Structure 1
Amino acid sequence: MITPTAPSKKALFGIPGLDDILGGGLTRDRLYLLEGDPGTGKTTIALQFLLEGARAGEVGLYITLSETRQELSENAASHGWSFDEHIAVFELVPPESLFEESQQQSLLYSSDLELGESTRAILQAVKEREPARIVLDSLSEIRLLAGGSLRYRRQILALKHYFAGQGATVLMLDDLTADVMDKTVHSVAQGVIRLEEMAPEYGAERRRLRVTKYRGQHFRGGYHDFTIATGGVQVFPRLISLEHKTAFARTKLVSGIGELDALLGGGIEQGSSTLILGPAGTGKSLLTIQYVLAAVARGERAAMFVFDEELDILLDRTRQIGIDLAALCEQKMLFLEQVDAAELSPGEFAHRVRNCVDEHAVKTVVIDSLNGYQAAMPQENALILHIHELLQYLNRQGAATFLTVAQHGLVGDMKAPVDITYLADTVVLLRYFEARGQVRRAISVVKKRTGAHEDTIREYRISSSGLTIGAPLVSFQGVLRGVPVYVGEDSQLDLLPGEDAER
């Protein structure tokens, strides 16, 4: 049962993201074009458009030349919808789909009618029902009946003027199967929305939309990701960080490890981003978790979006060093989410991050790692632009953001799959080095926009008690390259605090 709502000045789609892109919906009493290849979601969006009108008590009419009422009903039922007295379906179906003589005597067949007769049948249906919203599906059938571009244009113009006189907001669907180069309706329509579907080499298909035209209305340009799931279409407007600027105090946030805070010049500034670079196994995730624990200790909420590691493994290995992330999740102080890069578009990921920050007042965000994020973005340039807007948005919300990147290789000349060091406010570098026949780890800060920091390289260790950071390594050269040379005396190989001196 549809619950009526107060009528709106504009005709809403009932899809929050799409209505936001359109600046609040469609201007009423105008004709619009929704185009896209078969399977891009035109029918689902059109049904949501009529259902939203029904909620406001508006009569809707779905005119179909390609699908039957039963097919439309089944499509609606798959999303948990049903037509009520506010939505009528008028079908012009080909005779090949019907065999019963009684049905053939009571229905109109588009293949047997001239275009003028089909048009008059449509106009009669509109006159009888007096709908406020009309969906015409699809223009490909009308284009084929017209037989030529001039006659087709005249019929579209005739429909446009008639619908306008009836006070109806019209959504015409075009599946682009007849003539993809024909732009007749583009020039006639008040607005044009184009849907696209892309199939990556691996993973689920990706869908996006773009408003190519909207007369007299400011709209959000560019491509916007969307998905089709049970319950309808969900649109994720392109994130524009300038629209979300807030005021906050830029205080320093400490990690709880004195040596790490000293290395970072006293801590990380609120509303800044930190990039942690290093080869696999250097402890990038553990370093970010240290800041998550510090945020919770301050009474703030944190969020972790994990691309690469299975959550059960993450919970188990952190529990072994005395960190109970599961308990923090139960207390709603930590929001831990597994992200499948093969199933998630960048727009949807940005939407999830934004919702988490907005709804739960999260002040520490961890994205682990950008390698997984890159898998969702085959084009590096687009990846950098997405990250730029996401980081700027988080910074302007006063959130401290931590991103990890796994570099290729373990020692020697290592490279990152994507270079975003210029975007991050702070860059922390983790490295392996060898000393006394052991593989050891080193940490350094190579960039910090928001203040001074140590230019030293410190050794750190990961043990059952967590992360321990020692004094600066003054007896080595080449640590950052991963091929260090020892230049001091053997006695200068200091052990970390609390370590057995006989080791």
Structure 2
Amino acid sequence: MDTETGITLTARTGVPGLDEVLMGGLAEGNIFLLEGAPGTGKTTIALRFLITGAEAGERGLYVTLSETEKELRSGARSHGWRLSDAIDVFEVVPPESLVDAEHQQSLLYSSDLELGETTRTILGAFERVRPKRIVLDSLSEIRLLAQSSLRYRRQILAFKHYFSRSGATVLLLDDLSSDSNDKTVHSIAHAVIKLEELAPAYGAERRRLRVSKYRGRQFRGGYHDFAIRTGGVSVFPRLVAAEHRSRLDRGSISSGVSELDDVLGGGIERGSSTLVLGPAGTGKSTFGLQFIWAALQRGEKAALFVFDEELGLLFDRTRQMGFDLEAMRDAGGLHVEQVDAAELSPGEFAQRVRACVDDAQAKTVVIDSLNGYQAAMPEENALVLHIHELLQYLNRQGASTFLTVAQHGLVGDMRAPVDVTYLADTVILLRYFEARGHVRRAVSVIKKRTGGHEKTIREFQIGANGLTVGPALNDFQGVLRGVPSFVGQDTPPDVGIAPNDDD
């Protein structure tokens, strides 16, 4: 705390996203607990915390009871970091009398001597360095030396009062290896950050963190996904759409196909969400690409996130329909990204979408498909919440979002793997139907919150010229069931538009 102003100063951790979760960082002069099983990233976060302090001119001390100094410096180098002279690494090693069996004492409990000597060694290192930031790794060793909950609590309290007098910010690491249910330090620490690692049935491990307490400070609650990669830990704060509001000049945007705009009642409202629903192969991706092409023609930027198709095949396929996605990407107007659902958490995906809208100013976002997104989030309830927050955020930033969902089945009664129709502002329904020995495609709009739309069903085709939409199928009934019947007065005409031999 600044004694002149009475304002609590904040020590930034330097971990991307973590300071946002902590609403600024760690309050200076306090003791903090960072706990998690081995491999969850505690050491990486602690090293970044000290390096950030050193960059700000603050001296740091890393006290290790479990790892060697060589291991710590090697871990830092693996992330491209170098521990500067402003960071001291103090390795607490057992005294020779405790290693040599001939010198083992028997009249006193060895734990009494070990804990006392370890404490004196740590405090001696602190007095020599006088750091502004200190990391103590790990509490499991001290818990084992204390042997009782009372002694352990008293020892941590002693550390807290000692370090607080010097104004140092202390980060305690606990790997939970000696007692995962011990909450002794939770009531002592100023804040508690818990790291977790989840192992799905298939795919890479998923990591998340949660701040369970922070005295006198607001923080972003709930679970936040994070990843450990070369360069350190990156945290992806949980998206809260209500925190992001902006005034928008909304208006209709065209698809670039006049007949489709007629079906949509003049187009799509800017900053709205559209769900394209239908069985596999009906052209859901093409509808999304049509709006991307129209956005680029208006001079806007767009983003396409592909879960289900390899990019090389996508580029070749869409080039035959008149959409040269590769050229659009190379020109800088289109961001195309293939998403591996087995390797990416929903939090990181949302962060990537946000970056396209916030940094690259993309005004049209296509997510193809929600089925692939569901694979990244097996829990359906959580998936709906993620989608809700993401759509609300994109809408408030003025970005028009298009989601595709593949329904189970080809004709007749079909169901989607997850129902998000109530979240979307507009729902476009695609269907197969059979007529005169040909399999045709039909499109209709079953929902639009922002204005009227056609109640008709139209046939459409996908060919070398892209998307072609025909007139309304007024003389036929049962198109959405897959096998229509003629209900007109005259001889049944050919349905819709002429069949495309290339389709």
For 1:380 and 1:302, how far apart are their aligned partners in 2? 28
Q: Deviations over 1:397-423 (max 9, x none)?
A: 001100000001101111000100000
Q: Does 1:24 align with 2:28?
A: no
- After superposition, the Cα gap between the structure-2 partners of 1:359 and 1:206, relative to the gap in structure 1 and judged at 3 Å, is same
Shift of 1:494: 4.5
Q: Secondary structure at the match of 1:40?
A: coil
Q: Secondary structure at the match of 2:432?
A: strand
Q: Which residue of 1 aligns with 2:497?
A: 496
Q: Does 1:332 align with 2:328?
A: no
Q: Which residue of 1 aligns with 2:81?
A: 81
Q: Which residue of 1 aligns with 2:12?
A: 12
> Contact 1:470 / 1:497 at 8 angstroms: preserved in 2?
no
Q: Which residue of 2 aligns with 1:151?
A: 151
Q: Deviations over 1:5-59 (max 9, x none)?
A: xxx9311110130001001001000000000011100000000000000001111
Q: RMSD in angstroms over aligned alpha carbons?
A: 1.8
For 2:78 and 2:113, how far apart are their aligned partners in 1? 33
Q: Which residue of 1 aligns with 2:371?
A: 371
For 1:436 and 1:95, how far apart are their aligned partners in 2? 91
Matches within 5 A, 1:468-479: 468-479=468-479
Q: Secondary structure at the match of 1:480?
A: helix
> Contact 1:365 / 1:401 at 8 angstroms: preserved in 2?
yes
Q: What residue ranges of structure 2 are gaps of 5+ in the alignment? A: 1-7, 101-109
Shift of 1:305: 0.3
Q: Secondary structure at the match of 1:234?
A: strand
For 2:111 and 2:153, how far apart are their aligned partners in 1? 20
For 2:95 and 2:453, how far apart are their aligned partners in 1? 78
Q: What residue ranges of structure 1 are gaps of 5+ in the alignment? A: 1-7, 101-109
For 2:483 and 2:142, how far apart are their aligned partners in 1? 72
Shift of 1:442: 0.3
Instruction: State the one-letter code of the partner of 2:239.
Output: L
For 2:348 and 2:412, how far apart are their aligned partners in 1? 37
Q: Secondary structure at the match of 2:336?
A: strand
User: What TM-score results when the alignment is normalised by the length of structure 1?
Assistant: 0.93
Shift of 1:133: 0.3
- After superposition, the Cα gap between the structure-2 partners of 1:294 and 1:280, relative to the gap in structure 1 and judged at 3 Å, is same
Q: Which residue of 2 aligns with 1:219?
A: 219
Q: Which residue of 2 aligns with 1:269?
A: 269
For 1:499 and 1:125, how far apart are their aligned partners in 2? 80
Instruction: State the one-letter code of the partner of 1:88.
Output: D
Q: Secondary structure at the match of 2:434?
A: strand
For 2:60 and 2:230, how far apart are their aligned partners in 1? 22
Instruction: State the one-letter code of the partner of 1:324.
Output: D
For 1:119 and 1:476, how far apart are their aligned partners in 2? 86
Q: Which residue of 2 aligns with 1:294?
A: 294
For 2:466 and 2:332, how far apart are their aligned partners in 1? 23
Shift of 1:176: 0.6
User: What TM-score results when the alignment is normalised by the length of structure 2?
Assistant: 0.93
For 1:337 and 1:113, how far apart are their aligned partners in 2? 59
For 1:325 and 1:177, how far apart are their aligned partners in 2? 51
Q: Which residue of 2 aligns with 1:196?
A: 196
> Contact 2:472 / 2:496 at 8 angstroms: preserved in 1?
no
Q: Does 1:167 align with 2:167?
A: yes
Instruction: State the one-letter code of the partner of 1:400.
Output: S
> Contact 2:111 / 2:146 at 8 angstroms: preserved in 1?
no
> Contact 1:135 / 1:170 at 8 angstroms: preserved in 2?
yes
Instruction: State the one-letter code of the partner of 2:316.
Output: D
For 1:248 and 1:461, how far apart are their aligned partners in 2? 35
> Contact 1:307 / 1:339 at 8 angstroms: preserved in 2?
yes
> Contact 1:67 / 1:93 at 8 angstroms: preserved in 2?
no
Q: Secondary structure at the match of 1:195?
A: strand
Q: Deviations over 1:208-257 (max 9, x none)?
A: 00000100000000000000000000000000111111111111001111
For 1:116 and 1:94, how far apart are their aligned partners in 2? 12
For 2:296 and 2:121, how far apart are their aligned partners in 1? 66
Count residues with an aligned counterpart: 483
> Contact 1:276 / 1:427 at 8 angstroms: preserved in 2?
yes
Shift of 1:484: 2.5
Q: Deviations over 1:417-457 (max 9, x none)?
A: 01000000000000000000100000000000000000000
Q: Deviations over 1:310-333 (max 9, x none)?
A: 111111011112221111111111
Q: Deviations over 1:443-485 (max 9, x none)?
A: 0000000000000000011112211100111122222222333
Q: Which residue of 2 aligns with 1:142?
A: 142
For 1:379 and 1:482, how far apart are their aligned partners in 2? 32
> Contact 2:463 / 2:500 at 8 angstroms: preserved in 1?
no
> Contact 1:362 / 1:399 at 8 angstroms: preserved in 2?
yes
